[in-house]
């Protein structure tokens, strides 16, 4: 069991060397934001849709509502706890005059309406996607998710997870301003 000297030295240094490689990988992993899930649909046209209403006496939400406009669409559900976390941010944005549309995903319209009545309603138009069909077409993997669609109806941005003030300030607001200016 007595090993030759070079083997001993190699065995001594190997753990450290392997660790350094791993640590570098982890550091990159940390930089790699798990929320920035690139959608294959970014840059592609948004699907055509017509969703039923969530709120009483409302006409729902359809492609016609956003045609020719820059639109922010937020996917939520009354069952989703992270949406509850995101909700104050949406209320703030709505109060600042930002137009946000909502997709009530995999949710009973009555539950969605009760949720909006209870916590406040930040949405200009909101439609119910109980079957999850539109969300599927949009490539939604969970709630909340937010999309920005340009005037030509193409998906330009997708955010997985709650909107944070930083993300809004650094990424979303500039993009919207740029799209509004009509590139």
Partner 1 sequence: MIAEVGRFCLILALIITSLQVVAGLWGARRQNAQLLAVANSAAVAQFIFIALAFALLVWLFVVSDFSVMVVAANSATIKPMFYKITSTWGNHEGSMLLWVLILAFFGAAIGVLGRTMPAPFKARVLGIQGLISLGFLAFIIFTSSPFARLFPVPVEGAGFNPLLQDPGLAAHPPLLYLGYVGFSTAFSFAVAALIEGRTDTVWVRYARPWIIIAWICLTIGITLGSLWAYYELGWGGWWFWDPVENASLMPWLLGTALVHSALVVERRFALVRWTILLGILTFSMSLLGTFVVRSGILTSVHAFAVDPARGAFILVLLVLATGGGLALYAIRSPALGAGRVFSLVSREGSLVLNNILLVTITGTVFLGTFYPLLIDLLTEDKISVGAPFYAMTFVPMAAPLLLVMVIGPMLSWRRDSGQGLTMRLAPALFVGFAVLVLVAAGTHGAKAIAALWLAMAAWIVVGSLMILVRRTRLGQVSAAESVTLLKALPPATFGLVLAHAGIGLLVAGLAGGALFKQEGVAMLGAGQSVPFVGRMLTLVGVRPGREANYEFVRGRIEIRRGTGKPGLLFPERRFYPERQSETTEAGVRVTPLGNLYVALGDQAEDGRWTVRYYSHPLAIWIWLVGGVMALGGGVALFDRRNWLAPERQPAQAVQTPGSMPA
Q: Which of residues 65-104 bind partner 1 (CB under 8 A)?
A: 78-82, 84-85
Q: Which of residues 139-168 bind partner 1 (CB under 8 A)?
A: 142-143, 160-162
Coil/strand/helix, residue 121: coil
Pairing of β 126-129 and β 100-105:
parallel
Is residue 106 within the footprint of partner 1 (CB under 8 A)?
no
Of 21, 34, 56, 97, the one binding partner 1 (CB under 8 A) is: 34
Size of the site for partner 1 (CB under 8 A): 40
Q: Which is nearer to partner 1, 8 or 48 (CB)?
A: 8
Q: Which of residues 115-144 bind partner 1 (CB under 8 A)?
A: 115, 142-143
Coil/strand/helix, residue 5: helix
Full strand arrangement of the beta sheet holding 155-160: 61-62, 50-53, 126-129, 100-105, 71-76, 145-149, 155-160
Q: Which is nearer to partner 1, 11 or 50 (CB)?
A: 11
User: Rounded to 5 degrees, what angle do the CA atoms 91, 93, 99 make?
Assistant: 105
Q: Is the dihedral of CA 121, 126, 130, 134 positive or negative?
A: negative
Q: Which is nearer to partner 1, 11 or 95 (CB)?
A: 11
Radius of gyration of the chain (CA): 22
Of 33, 136, 169, 178, the one binding partner 1 (CB under 8 A) is: 33
Query: Footprint of partner 1 on this chain (CB under 8 A)?
Result: 1-3, 5, 8-9, 11-13, 15-16, 19-20, 23, 25-35, 37-38, 78-82, 84-85, 115, 142-143, 160-162
């Amino acid at each position: 069991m007595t090993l030759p000297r070079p083997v001993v030295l190699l065995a001594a240094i190997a753990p450290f060397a392997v660790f350094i490689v791993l640590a570098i990988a982890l550091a990159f992993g940390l930089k790699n934001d798990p929320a920035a899930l690139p959608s294959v649909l970014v840059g592609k046209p948004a699907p055509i849709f017509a969703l039923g209403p969530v709120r009483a006496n409302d006409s729902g939400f359809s492609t016609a509502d956003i045609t020719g406009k820059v639109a922010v669409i937020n996917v939520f559900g009354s069952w989703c706890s992270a949406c509850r976390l995101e909700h104050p941010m949406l209320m703030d944005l709505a109060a600042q005059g930002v137009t946000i549309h909502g997709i009530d995903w995999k949710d009973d319209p009555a539950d969605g309406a009760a949720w909006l009545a209870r916590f406040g309603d930040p949405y200009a138009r909101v439609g119910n996607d109980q079957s999850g069909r539109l969300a599927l077409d949009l490539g939604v993997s969970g709630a909340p998710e937010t999309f920005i669609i340009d005037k030509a109806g193409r998906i330009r941005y997708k955010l997985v997870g709650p909107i944070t003030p930083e993300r809004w300030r650094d990424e979303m607001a500039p993009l919207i301003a740029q799209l509004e200016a009509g590139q």
